[in-house]
Amino acid sequence: MSVATRETAGQAVTLEDIERAAERIRVLAKKTPVLRSRLFDQAAGIQTFFKCENLQRGGSFKIRGALNFLLSLSPEERKRGVVTFSSGNHAQAVAIAADYLGVAATIVMPTDAPKAKLEPTRAYGPKIVFFDRLRESREEIAEKLAAETGAVLLPSFDHPWIMAGQGTAVLELLHEYPELDAILTPLGGGGLFSGTLIVAKALRPGIRVFGVEPELASDWHQSLQRGERVEIAPPPTIADGLRTTAPGKSTFPVVQALADGIVLVSEEEIKAAVRFLLTRMKMLVEPSGAVAAGALLASKLPQGIRSAGVILSGGNVDLDVLAAICSEA
Amino acid sequence: MSVATRETAGQAVTLEDIERAAERIRVLAKKTPVLRSRLFDQAAGIQTFFKCENLQRGGSFKIRGALNFLLSLSPEERKRGVVTFSSGNHAQAVAIAADYLGVAATIVMPTDAPKAKLEPTRAYGPKIVFFDRLRESREEIAEKLAAETGAVLLPSFDHPWIMAGQGTAVLELLHEYPELDAILTPLGGGGLFSGTLIVAKALRPGIRVFGVEPELASDWHQSLQRGERVEIAPPPTIADGLRTTAPGKSTFPVVQALADGIVLVSEEEIKAAVRFLLTRMKMLVEPSGAVAAGALLASKLPQGIRSAGVILSGGNVDLDVLAAICSEA
């Protein structure tokens, strides 16, 4: 395990870490717009504020964590290069950030990664190593590569620097709209959700924060019910960014301590949300990025919440997947 | 023919008319955002400024002209109600504006109007009369209805008040970005293009302004070559908003006098532009609305133009049409 990971493992992330990350990532990450839609508010019955990370550089929020990680390394560590693993958006983010900073990057990707995520990643020139998502462990492959080459392992979510970076999206949202009753984020490995929980509860102790995951990928829901990290089989959900099989070691305790609940959405609810955002708001959001909007459209929040911030976490979707989603309407 | 049409037929539209229209329509029309895309600029080789009328109320620029027309009528005329004809976006705009102002509206629509345009129109409660686009004349049906009921005929493009209303989009664009080398708009009946020409050439005599129409619907291109309005057969282009069969009587002389050129785009170029805007900019633009972006991506402008304003005129597209466009990639 790399120096960077050793030094910070188990270290709690604070509001100050997230504020410092926000300063750091300004060189490359966009302050994304917060959009409203009268039609969505009518359909959901809740005033909704969309934080549009689908319009972020690289098409998802992942640049925030990747950039914060790379900029937190020492110059010596950056020289050794990084190894990471990802189904797509994190891969593209690391490729962009590493290219910008002149850091050598090796990326372990599943053979069935969406083309919309693979091709732009490749364009930034990292070394790409493929693995079989159903038979091999991407963590093991990445750790082996890191050990062999001396490169720093850059986790896709399970690290304080990543969590702090991802928390900057909601830091921006709450600076712009401090009075929200609730915040909803998609929930895969928990990097975005844990960063969000830390910043939101520090700035607004009374705010309610929910993670949203597909019914087909309910590792978080099961883990919180059992009180320990549960591992599930590779989930077949259309939300390819939320196909993680277990909560992260660093993210789980944060979620356990601070989350107000996990909301589950069906595949149909996810696709309906993609279609609503597309046809009514004219905006492309990938299935993983639309789960929180899906939860609102399906009225899955507890009573009494009148305004909600929703992270639209990404917009990278293959055209054949999008064609199928449109055809099913 | 109604009082309103008689009084203003043939009357020249001025910059002042467009500025007054801009004041008038503020009650309901949005000042739409102007968006940039590094990826588009790289692909087109031109700095491009997108005026996002796909994000306009009703999903297209048409609310500008419809609202300006209704607000220019006398209270007595408004009481008589209006009759209009449209393949969709103008219909929806008239329905929204008439509902807002409490004016009775009858709308003549083709039987094959896109559902994405028909359904939202219906929701605002106008009377809808269908006609067969290939066999009947919508103008004649609308004129007959107006004569029978005493309602005011509200043309979809061929009227100074409509032209002035549509010109407000580029008025906003040029206030925000006064230094553009060129402007491109989609070209159907010519309401948007003629309004654009008047405002752009008045504010910036040196600016170059191009209308873009499908190769399959080249009535303007043919008309300008011949020096008179040419009528074509109902064109089978995917750009359903640009299926007009001839230039308008009021719009033709303006275009003849002021336009720098007509650019033709193929069906493939239109679809490629829809896909580019969708996957790279995460934005839904309908085929008719994407023709000007298609012209830039296909490098169809004369040399020497370094910056261009592009009107993305609408975002209302049926999901089955979108699925087909996505599947063809």
Is pLDDT at B3 greater than 50 in this prediction?
Answer: no
DSSP state for residue B136 in the 8-state scheme: S
Name the residue among A148, A225, A223, A164 with its Cα closest to residue A196: A164
Q: In the prediction, which pLDDT does B163 show?
A: 98
Record the tokens describing residue A314, joined without a space: 């990404």
> Residues near B37 by Cβ (< 8 Å), separated by ≥ 6?
B48, B50, B280, B281
Size of interface A-B (CB pairs under 8 A): 54
* Residue from B92, B326, B327, B328 whose CB has the most chain A CBs within 10 Å, to mutate: B326
Q: Is A226 helix (H, G, I), strand (E, B) or coil?
A: helix
Chain B residues inside the 8 Å CB shell of A320: 326-327
List the one residue out of B317, B8, B314 whose CA is nearest residue B169. B314
Does residue A3 have a pLDDT over 80? Answer: no
Give the pair of three-digit tokens for residue A239.
């939300």
Whole-number Å distance between alpha carbons of A274 and A266: 13
**Cβ–Cβ gap B319/A279 under 8 Å:** yes
Interface test with B, best of A286, A326, A327, A328 (most B CBs within 10 A): A326
Q: Which residues of B touch A40 (CB under 8 A)?
A: none
Q: Read off the pLDDT of residues A192-239 as tens digits, 9 standing for 90 and up.
A: 999 999 999 999 999 999 999 999 999 999 999 999 999 999 999 999
| CA-to-CA separations, B319 to A296, B87, B112, B117, B152, in angstroms, rounded | 22, 17, 15, 12, 34
- pLDDT at residue number B138: 82
Residue among B278, B279, B282 minimizing CB distance to A55: B282
pLDDT tens-place string over residues A20-69: 999 999 999 999 999 999 999 999 999 999 999 999 999 999 999 999 99
Distance in angstroms (rounded) separating the CA atoms of residues B234 and B243 = 7
Count of CB atoms situated within 10 Å of the CB of A322: 26
> Which residues are registered as beta bridge partners of B191?
none
- The model carries a pTM of 0.92
Going by pLDDT thresholds of 50, 70 and 90, the confidence category of residue A11 is low
Q: Are B288 and B312 in contact (CB under 8 A)?
A: no
**Cα B91 to Cα B93: distance, rounded to the nearest angstrom:** 5
Burial classification of residue B35, based on how many CB atoms lie within 10 Å of its CB (0-12 exposed, 13-18 middle, 19 or more buried): middle
pLDDT confidence of A1, banded at 50, 70, 90?
very low
Q: What is the DSSP letter of B283?
A: B
Please tell me which of the candidates B284, B320, B327 has its beta carbon nearest to residue A320.
B327
Chain A positions touching B326 (Cβ under 8 A) are 319-320, 322-323, 326
Q: What is the mean pLDDT of residues B3-26?
A: 78
Could you list the beta-strand ranges (E) of chain B: 34-35, 47-52, 82-85, 105-110, 127-131, 152-154, 182-186, 208-214, 261-265, 307-312
What average pLDDT is seen over chain B? 94
- Would you list the DSSP string of A38-75? HHHHHHHTSEEEEEEGGGSGGGBTHHHHHHHHHHHS-H
For chain B, domains (ranges, CATH) are 6-60+161-327 (3.40.50.1100), 62-157 (3.40.50.1100)
Element (H, E) at B120: helix B115-123
